[in-house]
Structure 1
Amino acid sequence: MTLLHGYILSSSVPKKKQVIDFAQELVDYLFPVVENEKTYEAKHRKKLDSLKNLFSEILFAFSENYNLNQETISEQFFDSIDQVKADLLEDASALQQFDPAAKSLEEVVLTYPGFMAVTAYRVSNVLYRLGLPLVPRIISEWAHSTTGIDIHPGATIGVPFMIDHGTGVVIGETSVIGKNVKIYQGVTIGALAVKKEEAEVKRHPTIEDNVIVYANSTILGGKTVIGRESIIGGNCFIVDSVPALSLVYHQPIITVKNKKDFTEPLNWII
């Protein structure tokens, strides 16, 4: 461990690129584009072996300063992969059915940023639950930088879950989101101002099953619950609980005038 200009640089953590490469390889393994079905199974098994080796290298980097049961973490993580893929296929299928613009499941899996962010979340959430340090956040921030969608790996999110468009979505660490929830771009599911010592307290809202949250709405606070089957309209700011089956919307004042009555301002150009 070396002290350099006030910063501690440590060799006892994996390199960021190493983790991102692993995440990308894992996504390719979960949703491969198959060129030749006859050779697919052999290549798929080989890919899995390669992933296990990459993951072992990541875990080994923690050996010096972290007391981790590397074998158990690796075994439990790879045992969970089939369930992660099943959950993601539910996410993708629901998004395809919900979005009129989605022409196929392949389009959702290969092109939708919301699906990519949820994929990174579901993988990083498994690692977070296993107590692996740093790696879940590196994966979630890789997805954040790529899609503009920020989902903390500690959040609890049901299946299926849909993010449409997605840019600017923020979902905090202690958020609890039910099944069949749909959210749009710019939505924040966040915390009210809390003290650092309250880090273990539930700081983020609960969104119950079958809720839709439209664009640019903000829902804050650990005691805030959005009841099942509710619809939150765009641009709402919510810090109190909403009963089930509610329709919540923000009604701005919009003025419409005839262009004929508009006087063009003086425009001096030098």
Structure 2
Amino acid sequence: MTTDKSSFLDHLLTQRAQYRYKLPSRPDAGRFIDELMRLLFPVTQECQSVTQHVGETYQKLYDQFVCLLRPLSGHLPNYPEAIADTFFDSLPTIYDHLLLDAHAISDNDPAAVGVEEVVAVYPGFYAIAVYRIAHELLNLNVPLLPRMLTEYAHGHTGIDIHPGATIGRSFFIDHGTGVVIGETTLIGDNVKIYQGVTLGATYVAKSMAQKKRHPTIENNVVIYANATILGGRTVVGHDSVIGGNVWLTESVEPYSLVYNQHQTEVRLKSLEDSEPINFVI
């Protein structure tokens, strides 16, 4: 081995010792979340898999989760097994919330043929499901792993939901590509958003890390495609509709309709003023 290579490897070893966190494997985190989703919603079946008893699957996932937590042991508020017990005790509540989300999509999207299709193929539901699982882990003071899970979903769906966001019941993301929901966003019940929506901050600065930077969306709000709503003081009142391509940095009252007004002019041009038409034969 050359001296340069040896020095580089020594540098990597030194750097490794200086990392604050040791992280679980990203592939392992992805496998855990996908297998957990299959446990909660067994609407799909792998062709070559052997069907396990639900109790065996549950125990396997429990063991996988403890394994994911172990690299973080020095930064956890309790033993990995204790956190795993609390997390798995919360699964019935998470499941109930996800059923409401799935029904909200199925009931409101005319293209959906049923809850099974929503669970199996809708990227919006998948992103919401991973968010709700990651949010529970964040509430248990598990570092880094919640963000690892939501970024895994982000990579698969194009939907970026920070696990720190607070989202109410019956949440519906339609299509979903390009949706961004920031860390301190508050979303109420029965909210529906379309692709390209950004719920973000007015500007990015590390000094704002502990402050509310993202908007509040109250109950029964609909936000159409590519709308951008920014700022921690921005509140969209309940039962409002935000139209497509709206840029909003101020609060709006309940029952508001906010939209861009386009002006169309029809240009009349005489034949004499028209550009010549060249025919190629």
Aligned-pair CA distance for 1:213: 0.2
**Partner residue, 2:108:** 98
Q: Which stretches in structure 2 are left out of the alignment for 5+ residues?
A: 1-9, 46-50
**Partner residue, 2:139:** 129
SS at match of 1:219: strand
Q: Is structure 2 residue 128 aligned with structure 1 residue 118?
A: yes
**Partner residue, 1:239:** 249
Residue type of the alignment partner of 2:135: N
Aligned-pair CA distance for 1:18: 1.2
Give percent identity, aligned residues only: 48
**Partner residue, 2:12:** 4
- Shift of the 28–265 alpha-carbon distance from structure 1 to 2, 3 Å rule, reads farther
Which stretch shifts more, 247-256 or 235-244?
247-256
Aligned-pair CA distance for 1:118: 0.4
Q: Which stretches in structure 1 are left out of the alignment for 5+ residues?
A: 36-40
Q: 1-side partners of 2:192 and 2:269: how far apart?
A: 39
Q: Is structure 2 residue 40 aligned with structure 1 residue 66?
A: no
Q: Is structure 2 residue 23 aligned with structure 1 residue 13?
A: yes
SS at match of 2:53: helix
Residue type of the alignment partner of 1:172: G
Of structures 1 and 2, the larger Rg is shown by 2
Q: 2-side partners of 1:170 and 1:122: how far apart?
A: 15
2:207 to 197, 222, 225: 197
Report the TM-score when normalising by structure 2: 0.86
Q: 1-side partners of 2:54 and 2:157: how far apart?
A: 27
**Partner residue, 1:139:** 149
Q: 1-side partners of 2:40 and 2:238: how far apart?
A: 31
Aligned-pair CA distance for 1:147: 0.5
Aligned-pair CA distance for 1:243: 0.2
Residues 174-220 of structure 1 show CA distances to partners (whole Å, capped at 9, x for unaligned) of: 00000000000000000111431220100000000000000000000
- Shift of the 131–265 alpha-carbon distance from structure 1 to 2, 3 Å rule, reads farther
Aligned-pair CA distance for 1:66: 2.2
Aligned-pair CA distance for 1:134: 1.2
Q: 1-side partners of 2:148 and 2:232: how far apart?
A: 25
- Shift of the 267–121 alpha-carbon distance from structure 1 to 2, 3 Å rule, reads farther
Q: 2-side partners of 1:48 and 1:259: how far apart?
A: 72
Residue type of the alignment partner of 1:80: S
Aligned-pair CA distance for 1:260: 9.9
- Equivalence map 1:39-188=2 (5 Å): 43-63=53-73, 65-69=74-78, 70-188=80-198
**Partner residue, 1:208:** 218
Query: Aligned-pair RMSD on alpha carbons?
Result: 2.7
Tell me, yes or no, if the aligned pair for 2:43 and 2:120 is still in contact at 8 Å.
no
Residues 85-125 of structure 1 show CA distances to partners (whole Å, capped at 9, x for unaligned) of: 11111011111111111111111111111111101111111
Tell me, yes or no, if the aligned pair for 2:76 and 2:143 is still in contact at 8 Å.
no
- Equivalence map 1:31-42=2 (5 Å): 31-33=41-43
- Shift of the 22–256 alpha-carbon distance from structure 1 to 2, 3 Å rule, reads farther
